[in-house]
Chains A and B, each alone.
Chain A
Amino acid sequence: MSEAIKKFMFVNTKAPYGTVYALESLEVVLITAAFDQDVSLVFCDDGVFQISNNQNTEASGMKNFSNAYKALGDYDINKLYVEKESLEERGLTLDNIMDLTYEDDDWAEKPSIKLVTRAELADLMDDQDLVISS
């Protein structure tokens, strides 16, 4: 098998639960990470709602998959970019977003979430081998 590592960026643009895109994207992300690829995630547009705090599906009876995002750090997925403008347009701040972390080589807990501007996101996308949007 090839040893080549490619830079994969998954761009999440849709709100969770109303459609299956968010859950399916998360599944593909975890599979990709299992093949030791360089994976980063973007949450922009309505995708920012995928990682909103305090998701409670008790009354709706839906499967709450938000806790799975907390496991991303254990799969060495620690580049999670959240678009600043998307938060602002929706009346949100980083306080509304889950506190997702990973452990570095010295077991120190570090934040995985990075707030980026639309312009910075364009540069990050330009730097990828593959960009997969959903």
Chain B
Amino acid sequence: MAMLHTVNKSPFERNSLNSCLTKSKEGSSILLIEDAVVGALKGTIVADKLSAAIANKNVYVLGSDLNTRGFTEADILDGIKTVDYAGFVDLVAEHSNVQSWL
């Protein structure tokens, strides 16, 4: 079973999203939460790297954290799926283990 990776820091301030993208396996899932949700926006300097990841990994963003910071599903890259808290729980249950990139 595949691994779930969570990232909670902005990619414009920390390198944790980059570490996650380079060390996660194909078929694994990446969930952006807290300040990391801003990395999912269209047209940013990390958009290309994230778009490349979407090709062979499942990328999710926590919708409530996105709304909190003033954005909606319409503002994020195509291919990134939005989940709510219940969806977060489902992802944890569906994957073999979770790695939190702090």
Contacts and interface: CB of A to CB of B under 8 A. Distances in A.
Interface of A: 14-19, 45-46, 49, 52-60, 62, 64, 66, 89-92, 96
Given A18-B10, A89-B12, A58 B38 contact: no
B8 A18 contact: yes
B41 A90 contact: yes
Contact of A59 (B13, B45, B67): B67
A11 to B, nearest CB: 14
A18 B12 contact: no
9 contacts: A15-B38, A17-B34, A56-B70, A59-B67, A59-B85, A90-B41, A90-B45, A91-B42, A91-B44
Given A46-B38, A60-B64, A91-B44, A96 B70 contact: yes
A92 to B, nearest CB: 8
Contacts, number: 73
Nearest to B34: A18
A36 B8 CA distance: 38
Contacts of A89: 12, 44-45
Given A15-B69, A17-B65, 7 more contacts: A14-B13, A18-B8, A49-B38, A53-B70, A54-B72, A55-B68, A55-B70
Please tell me the size bucket of the interface on B: 20 to 34
Nearest to A18: B35
A18 B70 CA distance: 14
A90 B13 CA distance: 12
Contacts of B42: 91
A91 B13 CA distance: 15
A91 B34 contact: no
Contact of B69 (A55, A58, A91): A55
A45 B12 contact: yes
B41 A15 contact: no
Contact of B41 (A53, A56, A91): A91
B34 to A, nearest CB: 4
Nearest to A59: B64
Interface in B1-22: 8-10, 12-13
B45 A52 contact: no
